[in-house]
Chain A
Amino acid sequence: MSEKVLVIGSGPIIIGQAAEFDYSGTQGCLALKEEGFEVVLVNNNPATIMTDPAIADSVYCEPLTVESIETIIQQENPDALLSGLGGQTALNLAVDLQEAGVLHKYGVKVLGTSIDSIQQGEDREQFRQVMQETEQPVVESEVITDYEAAKAFAFHTGFPVISRPAYTLGGRGGGIAHDEAELEVLMKDGLKASPISQVILEKSIAGFKEIEYEVMRDTDGTCISVCNMENIDPVGVHTGDSIVTAPSQTLTDKEYQMLREAALEIVNSLNVIGGCNVQFALDPKSNQYYVIEVNPRVSRSSALASKATGYPIAKMAAKLALGYRLDELMNPLTGYTYASFEPTLDYVVVKFPRWPFDKFKGANRTLGTKMKATGEVMAIERTLEAAFTKAIDSLDQTLPTFDEKTAWEHIQAPTDARFFAVLDLMRNGTSLEEVYEATGFDPFFLRVFENMLTWEKRLTKDLSLETLKEAKQNGVSDAKLAGITGKPEIEWVRFRQKHGIKPSYKIVDTCAGEFEAETNYVYSTYAGTTEIEPLEAKKKALIIGAGPIRIGQGVEFDYSAVKAIESLQNQGYTTIMINNNPETVSTDYETADRLYFEPLKLENILDVAAFEQVDIVFTAFGGQTALNVTEEIENQGYTVAGVPASVIASLEDREAFYDLLQTIDVPHVPGEMCHSAEEARQAADTYQYPLLCRPSYVIGGQGMVVIHSKDELEAALEETEAKHYPLVMDQFITGEEVEVELVSNGRNVFIPGLMAHIEAAGVHSGDSMAVFPAQVETSVQEQVETYAERIATHVNYKGIMNIQFLINNDDVYVLEVNPRSSRTVPIVSKTAAVPLIDWAVKAMVDEAMELPSVKPDIPYTAVKFPVFSSHALAELDHKLGANMMSTGEGMYLGKTTEQALAKVFEHLPSPESSACFEEGQDGDFNTWLSSSEAAVYHNEEDTEEAKEKRVEALKAGITIFSNEATYQAYVQSVGDRNKERIALVQPKGNEVMI
């Protein structure tokens, strides 16, 4: 057996490849270490737990390219490669490494599913051949490499036809064409998106049920189905954009077994070793089915299936890759059954996608074969009504309501809001049959929705305790009660708790109670009694998670939560996690001492806190979602770790914050607090445009915009929801933006270094490239650190804090403070090799905690860069601005800043070449765009024409530059391209603390 294993991660978070690979990758690496292997990890995503030095023996945040990996192989000399945990990115890279002869050259063997099998599953033509050999039905289709052939196929089978480009993730470049004109566009996009210029065109089977199976297979050929899932949205909407239940709800046993058998047969014929996902379309009116696709690796669905069943697919897949058999691995949840046991559920699971359209008003919300969701939530209950409600509550967003006309538009498109449009129509009397005809949602599900609405209606007339109790079983949450009665959620929580209407807590055990299982994986239900006792502990801490991955609140918040749990455990705390994101490490039941898989509404948090009688609650490690509930939790008499809600308010509320800054003589950008649109107009008049408009209580700069004129101001106010007042009108001053992550014990602070943005202020920090540690003038650095310390010590701040500064001609202004763990914590922590979260937690729980006074010695420079999901949202102009658009970030290290920067752009051609097009200098845009070499487009203009051109370029898969600073960084980096591949320095424990 091998001793050193190279693991490839999935890279930055993009739509279609998100935090689920942090979960599976982390599990996989830990499983390898558990078996005594040395793990070398390559993953350029710094925000994850997977790239934490504790997870692998060496971590390389380096480009995921053949060249880069080859150098690392030379340096590390691994015996084997495991690529099945890093999504499509890792799988494609493994195929490329094989084809380039790298694996053979260095004698690196492939663990798990072989490259040949991967290709059989992924290459559309090979896949169809395997299906034919195993006599599995596939939809009439053809492999297409040019438009003429596509046209011939479509005329032969008839429209609509579906296009799926080969070797792409999240359905990138795919879609449905209803006529010839649509087909032409689709083919152009699809052939470009596919790295081998190949798409598969198939006859549309829209309206079929979409069913998935998660299958495990070992080297002996033993196969089990861990879980099956049924999409509520019929075929036609990408499974990542579908509302999903587990297990399937409307399949007879014969149908369930027919598809299970087909899935096992396929996985066997592909010789998969590890996990595999098989997707089917099933006719709702006959037993005709088709195999849609196979993913011979762990996937988003396998993460979901792991959380839905309690069966750790990625961990087992890693062990199967090492040669273990399913019947010799224990099921860790029961400790009695083996991994060859098929989980059975005694609850229902609903997964709901989280889309970015609340941030992107202009985006095309129509759903199809291309995934658009950035994340997802999962809910567990014993009735579907309650599970749906929990899922909706977990979305953490304002739910839309529609008039009849708009509702039908959302249904017909269909858009992300189809589900809510259906509820609205049914609420207003549209019949089940009519909705069924329009949506293809199985009547079984529509009756569930009908029941939810019936209860909603009943409560408008009857709020007796008896009715309330029954309503809870049927999915009426306290938030819903608040909507019905106009009384705030918190009052309903209090009312319920006072009258003893409390949820029961049950456990997820993989076996429906058949065997005794001491599990710590808990969900609440009103259908039945509580089967667990509160944890016995001296000190009990509740950590509130960040919910679904969305733009502005990504996987980095999960990193913080997980590290906080680790720290608390080391300090003798018993930890309780509450979260609802099935993709993450924080919801791995092995992370905290107990996991409550729940929405993050006050209802759920306070019920858990009351049941467990927790000693302390942590709201600083779950992004804005967790921070926003601090005050209410404190009001209920719980101790919130760190500082009181009043201090948080004094830093978050702009008015109070500006007062505070004045008191301690720290300059801020001139600005005014506006409590209404009218006040905003008045304020605008007293300043000179441009202004920066910042709404309150938003994530990732949502609604934040630079305003150049009165018209723009009106447009911005139109978009602002009432709950986002007060908003701040700042004078928009440009300059260099610098931020710090600091840990404070109330007396002094620890600042590992400064992070400087490449782009000037005005670009959201999440969308900026940034350098850490930054080289700035000593006077500026001192000023920044002085101000930071002054703010933190003035409010006696305990814990972690992010402060953003603006440097304008040597003047330092404070822009904003985030009194919580922020996006850049993992980057700073990993680069500086200091355990920031650990220290923050210690500062929060230990009065006497001392911070080190020595700055860390950082042997390299890191550059963080944003990653955009333009493949999924190509119709959006991605010009950098105040509203964050990136879905993820990457990081590279260099011996110098220049070397690190060069890695960000090393995949791009030389700016001198004709592959790059600079607007206004390089001739005709359209001619260039249609050339095969077109790769880089630079245009910073704000005009409609520029916007359209950028969008055109994005759709063609071109890298665009819309900011001078970013572009210059690219141009200047060419001379610094290098082959240095640097592993992160492992932290030296706590020795700097003494």
Chain B
Amino acid sequence: MKGVIQLEDGQFFEGEASTEWTTAIEGEVVFFTGMTGYQEVLTDPSYRGQIVVFTYPLIGNYGVSAASAESKEPQVKGAVMWKCSEDDSHYMADQSLAAYMEGWNIPYLTNVDTRELTKAIRTKGTCRASMANKKKAPAPVDAAGQVYEVSRNEKQVYGDGDTHLVLVDFGLKQSILDELLAGGAKVTIVPFSDMEDIHEIDPDGVVLSNGPGDPKDVTGYLEQIKKVLDTYPSFGICYGHQVICLAYGADTKKLPFGHRGANHPVKDKKTNHVFITSQNHNYVVTPGSLESTPLEARMIHVNDGSVEGIVHPTKPIFSAQFHPEANPGPKDAVWMIEEFFALVEKKGVTAYV
């Protein structure tokens, strides 16, 4: 069955549709340049509502396994690939990627020149697209508020470690929870809409999770967030990082086509060390906007100089625009999570300078 993906500006790319679609599939279209980790991408809540283009041509080579899920279901609206494997033989695989996609009813296109599509997105900037069996222009409405779709409705408690951490859920990835548990923490997941409850829980520290879309979707909660930040040692990841910056009065803006992939070099100005990070974000903290806040940019993207992490000079707060928990991608920055644990354990002894 023929399938077409068409961008806002009318450019279109033909391929094979996974099935016949009764209605067009519409969403923001983004590309992922990692060569492994397709399942992590598909299940990462930060991709909520998006159509993901995989630049590596062979997707699904090692099947799909419960161990690689970043949430309990696929989060993307659709996927575009050159090839989607119908087989699996990896010892960890439960099923093939094609079977998984069909099982969850996730529409996908194959036999698409994903390189050309990627270049179109790069040139145009992130935009809306529609996938259909025939050419169809996407509706001119921007999606908003995806964060409300993916955050949990109620609190959940995991683990029984001595350090008690709250993980604020903006659409968190399983790997963040896994890393915190592996570090020996007891973790209480709190939906971002219930931030006020954190003071009751009175944890040793707070981690603000990743999440989809525009951080300004949670503008209404910034005051509560700031109160939490002022009270507890805090660490923000991706969306969580952006929210911290917004809470202290900085601004965010949309990147032309985002940072997505497993190969982004970031420099830590504190150590002058460069490491490779896993990234997935459309929005970024406007660099100049930090000047009016107490926050300092600590991490910088080597390629475009964008803000990749901040630190509060007097409070135990820092953050990463990238994903130190990896999955997919390299774990070169996992030390930041360790650093956070160290910070939390020092609480009340000395201030973080």
Contacts and interface: CB of A to CB of B under 8 A. Distances in A.
Interface of A: 220-225, 247-254, 256-257, 260-261, 264, 284-286, 325-327, 336-338, 340-348, 382-384, 442-444, 447, 506, 511-516, 527-529, 531
Interface string B40-62: 10000000000000011110011
A227 to B, nearest CB: 10
B265 interface: yes
Contact of B115 (A224, A442, A528): A528
A722 to B, nearest CB: 40
A343 B261 CA distance: 11
B221 to A, nearest CB: 33
A327 B36 contact: no
A16 B111 CA distance: 40
A221 B82 CA distance: 37
Q: Of B113, B116, B303, B327, which is in contact with the most chain A CB atoms at under 10 Å from its CB?
A: B303
Do most interface residues of chain B lie in helix, strand or loop, or is the interface mixed?
A: loop
A253 B92 CA distance: 12
Contacts of B272: 220
A346 B265 contact: no
A248 B34 CA distance: 12
A346 B114 CA distance: 9
Given A341-B303, A515-B122, A260 B116 contact: no
B263 A250 contact: no
Contacts of A345: 35, 56
B57 A347 contact: yes
A137 B179 CA distance: 23
Interface stretch (B246-254, B329-337, B339-347): B329-337
Contacts of A338: 265, 302-303
Q: Of B40, B56, B115, B332, which is in contact with the most chain A CB atoms at under 10 Å from its CB?
A: B115
B269 to A, nearest CB: 12
A426 to B, nearest CB: 15
A327 B115 contact: no
Nearest to B259: A514
A135 to B, nearest CB: 16
A383 B122 contact: no
Interface residues of B, number: 52
B128 to A, nearest CB: 20
B309 to A, nearest CB: 16
B303 A336 contact: yes
Given A513-B118, A513-B122, A341 B55 contact: no
14 contacts: A220-B274, A254-B327, A326-B265, A327-B274, A327-B302, A344-B35, A345-B56, A346-B55, A383-B58, A442-B89, A512-B33, A514-B33, A529-B113, A531-B115
Given A250-B62, A253-B40, A346 B90 contact: no
B122 A516 contact: yes
B165 interface: no
Contacts of B332: 261, 264
Which 3 A-B residue pairs are closest in the complex by CB-CB distance? A528-B113, A253-B37, A342-B263
Given A342-B262, A382-B57, 15 more contacts: A222-B273, A249-B61, A250-B62, A250-B90, A251-B62, A256-B35, A327-B265, A341-B263, A342-B265, A342-B276, A442-B89, A513-B115, A513-B119, A514-B33, A529-B113
Contact of A340 (B36, B114, B302): B302
A444 B93 CA distance: 13
Nearest to A528: B113
Nearest to B32: A512
B148 interface: no
A286 B99 CA distance: 24
Q: Of A251, A253, A443, A447, which is in contact with the most chain B CB atoms at under 10 Å from its CB?
A: A253
B240 interface: no
Contacts of B163: none
B328 interface: yes
B109 to A, nearest CB: 14
A411 B320 CA distance: 51
Contacts of B39: 253
A284 B275 contact: no
Nearest to A470: B111
Contacts of A261: 330-332
B174 to A, nearest CB: 13
Contacts of A347: 57
A721 B106 CA distance: 56
Q: Of B62, B65, B327, which is in contact with the most chain A CB atoms at under 10 Å from its CB?
A: B62
